[in-house]
Amino acid sequence: MNPHQAETKIKRTANALAINTKVSVLAPGTVANLVCGFDILGMCLNEPNDLMEITLLDEKKVIIHSADGYPLPTDPAQNTAGAPLVEMINELDTPRGFEITIHKHIKPGSGIGSSAASAAGAVVAANHLLGNVFSKRDLVRFAMFGEKVASGVKHADNVAPCIYGGITLIRSIHPLDIISIPCPSLYVTIVHPQIEVRTKDARQILRKEVLLKDAIRQWGNIAGLVAGFMQGDLDLIGRSLEDVIIEPVRSILIPGFDEVKYRCKEEGALGGGISGSGPSIFMLSRDENTAIKVEKVMQEIYNRIGLEYHTHVTTINTTGVKILQD
């Protein structure tokens, strides 16, 4: 379907020849916004990942289990993995349901796509069990219902890269128009200070109006960042990792943010900023050695502040949710 046309919902029939009854997937973390691309840019990570096990049922229901005791909602309508599956089931013309067990390794409220991992992992796994009757764009459309559960808003900047892999641009939500952006091999260093910043709360503090001069500067940065990725121009990527609208407001919620960003760039990072709505901070680097130096800077700062944290040094995941076994 042409993405510029209105969305249409077509009843789908599961492919009986391709049906398996159970599958496990790794659902990866993601970095949304990529500094200047609020709600329109996202990047998939190789680490961390949630592990999800999904079983196909012959009746129209969704059952949810937490494998590690994490208090996940069991009502599908209130669960970030369950809500997308309810929408998917409603578009099938045969009675199908799913039982999900979630090993939650991406902490909710971390800013690295915990809700998106649950939503994307669920729909990719379910689609696999149905014989891949839905397109990737359909899967993003379903997964956005999980994001609405988490934040009150249907956005795709986390679920799209989680499903497509790599870096994605969400040109439009209505109709849904997703563009995969080629990018150079980069290393990603992330620090997750052990505080929680809820996406819903982080959205509420944003300004409702933006000065024209700030909007123009932001548009230039977004265009420069996309061009830098496509051309493999690392210097342009670094210059474009600037946010004059969202970051100045949200960064006040993250202890040590300004120092982390300044000192990591001094250590050789191309740049970075808030991952999603925070509190995680990400930095992009040309090579692994620089990424490790950046990690040590992050650790030093939070050790001095006295705030517990987790760090990750990883790379860009180009494939998205990974099917582990049938």
**Do strands 97-103 and 62-66 pair parallel, antiparallel, or not at all (unpaired)?**
parallel
Which residue do the tokens 């977004």 mark? Answer: 222
Q: Alpha-carbon distance 176 to 173, whole Å? A: 4
Q: Where are the beta strands (DSSP E) in the chain?
A: 22-32, 41-57, 62-66, 97-103, 167-172, 177-181, 187-193, 271-274, 281-285, 309-315, 322-325
In this prediction the pTM is 0.91
Condensed to tens digits (0 to 9), the pLDDT of residues 270-309 reads 999 999 989 999 999 999 999 999 999 999 999 999 999 9
Condensed to tens digits (0 to 9), the pLDDT of residues 155-199 reads 999 999 999 999 999 999 999 999 999 999 999 999 999 987 666
| Catalytic position from the list 30, 168, 189, 199 | 199
Give me the pLDDT at residue 311, please: 96
- Packed helices 114-129 and 82-90: angle between N→C axes, nearest 10 degrees: 40
Phi and psi at residue 129, in whole multiples of 5°? -65, -25
Q: Alpha-carbon distance 259 to 256, whole Å? A: 6
> What is the number of other CB atoms lying within 10 angstroms of the CB of residue 325?
9
Active-site annotation holds for 319: no
Give me the pLDDT at residue 69, please: 74
Q: Which two tokens stand for residue 295?
A: 């990690």
> What is the number of other CB atoms lying within 10 angstroms of the CB of residue 171?
13
Looking at the predicted structure, is the pLDDT value of residue 127 above 60?
yes
**Do strands 187-193 and 309-315 pair parallel, antiparallel, or not at all (unpaired)?**
antiparallel
Overall average pLDDT of the 129-151 stretch: 95
Mean pLDDT of the chain: 92
Three-state secondary-structure class, residue 263? helix
Question: Among residues of the chain, what percentage have pLDDT more than 90?
Answer: 79
Give me the pLDDT at residue 259, please: 98
DSSP symbol at 277: T
Is 321:162 a contact under the CB 8 Å cutoff? yes
Helices (H), 186-315: 199-204, 212-231, 234-240, 247-250, 257-266, 288-305
Looking at the predicted structure, is the pLDDT value of residue 14 above 70?
no
Condensed to tens digits (0 to 9), the pLDDT of residues 27-48 reads 999 999 999 999 999 999 999 9
Q: Alpha-carbon distance 42 to 113, whole Å? A: 10
Active-site annotation holds for 55: no
Give me the pLDDT at residue 195, please: 87
Three-state secondary-structure class, residue 100? strand
3-state secondary structure 76-96: HHHCCCHHHHHHHHHCECCCC
Condensed to tens digits (0 to 9), the pLDDT of residues 58-101 reads 999 999 998 887 778 889 999 999 999 999 999 998 899 999 99
Give me the pLDDT at residue 16, please: 53
Domains and CATH numbers, the chain: 16-180+318-325 (3.30.230.10), 187-315 (3.30.70.890)
CA distance to 88, 102, 149, 217, 225, per residue, from 82 (Å) = 10, 11, 10, 39, 34
Give me the pLDDT at residue 18, please: 54
Looking at the predicted structure, is the pLDDT value of residue 1 above 50?
no
Condensed to tens digits (0 to 9), the pLDDT of residues 251-262 reads 988 999 999 999
| Catalytic position from the list 147, 247, 267, 295 | 147
Q: Alpha-carbon distance 164 to 173, whole Å? A: 16
Of residues 37, 314, 278, the one with CA closest to residue 179: 37
136-140: long-range contacts (C-beta < 8 A, 24 or more apart)?
136/163, 136/164, 136/178, 137/3, 137/176, 137/178, 139/163, 140/164, 140/176, 140/178
Highest-pLDDT range among 196-200, 205-209, 315-319: 315-319
